[in-house]
C-alpha cells in the first residue's frame, strides 16, 4: 500500500468525531487530491495529503500543517496536484472603528505555506485573509477565474490555533478550518 494511502486511511480514523456528511465531503476532497497526485511519487503525495488533513507526525516525512504563529495557512493546487508557491497573501483584522487593518502579509513558500503571517498575540476579532492566485496561474500558463480569494473568519478563543487552508484550481476554490 503506498504511504499516501496509509495516511489517508489513518486520517479517516483520526477524524471519526466529525459528523458523517462533513467527513464524507472531506474524504471526497482527499480522494480528488490523491487522484490529482497520480503523477507524483509516494513521498510527495503523502506530504500533500498530510497538509490537507492538517496532521503532523502521522507520516515521518510530512510537512507540518502549522508554522509559527496563531493563524496559519497553506495553499494546495488541486488541479495540478501540488502546493501553490509564490502566492501573495494578506491578513487583516476588522477594528472597532469599522476599518480593515493590516496584520501581516507575505508569499507562500515552495510548500504552499506562509510562515509568520500573524506575528503577534491573538485577540478576539474578525479577520480576513486575501489570497491572490492570479499571478501563480499566469506563471503556469493557465487561465483562471478568481484573481482574488477572500476568506473572513472570527476568532472566538485566543488560546486556540487557527489554520485556514485554501484548495485552489483555475475555476474553483474551497476552504475550511484546519488544525
Q: Alpha-carbon distance 85 to 5, whole Å?
A: 25
pLDDT single digits (tens) 21-71: 554 565 666 666 665 655 555 566 556 666 665 543 332 233 334 445 899
Q: Alpha-carbon distance 79 to 117, whole Å?
A: 25
pLDDT single digits (tens) 112-146: 999 889 988 899 999 999 999 999 999 999 999 99
pLDDT single digits (tens) 59-113: 223 333 444 589 999 999 999 999 999 999 999 999 999 999 999 999 999 999 9
Helix (H) or strand (E) run with residue 172 in it = strand 172-175
Cα Rg, the chain, nearest whole Å: 16
Amino acid at each position: 500500500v503506498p504511504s499516501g494511502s496509509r495516511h489517508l486511511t489513518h486520517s479517516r480514523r483520526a477524524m471519526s468525531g466529525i459528523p458523517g456528511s462533513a467527513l464524507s465531503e472531506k474524504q471526497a476532497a482527499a480522494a480528488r487530491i490523491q487522484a490529482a497526485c497520480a503523477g507524483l511519487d509516494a513521498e510527495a503525495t503523502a506530504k500533500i495529503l498530510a497538509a490537507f488533513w492538517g496532521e503532523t507526525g502521522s507520516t515521518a516525512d510530512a510537512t507540518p500543517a502549522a508554522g509559527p504563529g496563531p493563524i496559519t495557512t497553506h495553499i494546495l493546487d488541486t488541479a495540478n496536484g501540488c502546493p501553490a508557491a509564490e502566492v501573495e497573501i494578506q491578513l487583516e483584522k476588522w477594528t472597532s472603528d469599522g476599518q480593515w487593518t493590516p496584520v501581516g502579509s507575505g508569499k507562500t513558500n515552495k510548500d504552499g505555506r506562509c510562515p509568520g503571517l500573524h506575528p503577534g498575540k491573538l485577540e478576539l476579532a474578525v479577520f480576513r485573509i486575501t489570497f491572490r492566485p492570479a499571478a501563480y496561474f499566469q506563471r503556469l500558463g493557465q487561465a483562471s477565474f478568481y484573481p482574488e480569494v477572500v476568506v473572513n473568519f472570527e476568532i472566538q478563543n485566543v488560546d486556540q490555533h487557527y489554520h485556514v487552508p485554501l484548495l485552489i484550481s483555475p475555476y474553483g476554490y474551497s476552504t475550511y478550518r484546519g488544525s
